[in-house]
Amino acid sequence: MKTLKLLTAVAATMLLSACSTPKLGYFQDVQSGQLHQLHQLQTPKYVKVQPGDKLSILVSSKTPELAYLYNLPVVGRYNSSTSNRSLNTSSVAHYTVAPDGSIEFPVLGKLIIAGKSRSEVGDYIRNLLVSGNHLKDAVVTVDFLDMYFSVMGEVKSPGRFIIDHDKVTLLDALSQAGDLTINGLRNNVLVMRDEDGKETAYRVDLTNAESLYGSPAFYLKQNDIIYVEPNAKRARESTGTGNAFQNPSLWISLASLLTTITVLIVK
């Protein structure tokens, strides 16, 4: 009889555990009015130029003939889908940042731009043109090319995403990937980053606002990789019977069986 009571108690405990609802919300520690204080943990970090990055830099002026001297030549792009490879479009050639953080700029020569934001690069080149009496009314437009971050794991739409803003947060990245699935661990999101040739890993707890806003990975950099781990339920699905004992119907059936046996013994 004691054994049956013990089994019944165990079955009831497992049933309640199987039916429990996990905490899926973000910022669970936030109270009303706290977000402003948490935002102060981070100063906005803009995407900075790194060696290997590709940029489009266009100099314009009221005198196009002069501005032409400070732009890379217009190059043609070939249509490789046809057998004749006909020239069908044209564009301004791009700059690739050298390992020492420099680019070779027309007339101005070698410029070190690594570590600067997009607007800082534009201001830097414009000031050189104006102060050097090259082009008094220069307007410099800088765009990043081929800058990405990747999102993997338990998100709705994993993939590689273009950086099209001057600053991108971890929340922005997860939103672009369709948010976490119900099986994604919200308290242990991994961000992997190449820093000075070394791979650095950051762990972020999305349920804790202070952990999120205080993390060095809150603002993303180009080539960051975000990985959302699966929860235990999702991991067990890798085996055929992994979640069998988590199925409420199994424990309901077991509890019903134990109850029937108990009644029969008592009678």
Same domain, 11 and 74: no
Interstrand relation of 102-105 and 109-112 (parallel, antiparallel or unpaired): antiparallel
Domain C-terminal end among 112, 145, 178: 145
At 172-224, the pLDDT tens digits run: 999 999 999 999 999 999 999 998 888 999 999 999 888 888 899 999 999 99
Grade residue 87 by pLDDT with cuts at 50, 70 and 90. very low
Report how far residue 1's alpha carbon sits from residue 21's, in angstroms, rounded to the nearest whole number: 33
104 or 31: which leads in pLDDT: 104
The verdict on 132 and 164 lying in the same domain is no
Entry field: residues in the chain: 267
- Count of structural domains, the chain: 3
Residue 236 lies in a domain: no
Q: Give the model's confidence band at 154: pLDDT under 50 very low, under 70 low, under 90 confident, else very high.
A: very high
pLDDT (average), residues 233-238: 76
156 shares its domain with 176 = yes
Q: Stretch 10-30: mean pLDDT, rounded?
A: 58
Q: Which domain holds residue 259?
A: 2-15+241-266
The CATH number of the domain where 173 resides is what?
3.10.560.10
Task: Answer with the one of 114, 129, 145 that is the final residue of a domain.
Answer: 145
Distance (Å, whole) CA 36 – CA 34 = 6
Domain identity same for 188 and 226: yes
**Residue 199: inside a domain:** yes
Final residue of a structural domain among 145, 170, 202:
145
Q: How confident is the model at residue 20 (pLDDT cuts 50, 70, 90)?
A: very low
Same domain, 7 and 65: no
Instruction: Assign 85 a pLDDT band (cuts: 50, 70, 90).
Output: very low
In a domain, 209, yes or no: yes
Do the beta carbons of residue 162 and residue 199 sit within 8 Å?
no
Contact present, 210 and 41 (Cβ < 8 Å): yes
238 is written with which tokens?
A: 């890798």
Is position 24 within any domain?
no
Alpha carbons 114 and 48: distance in angstroms, whole number: 7
Per-residue pLDDT, 146: 86
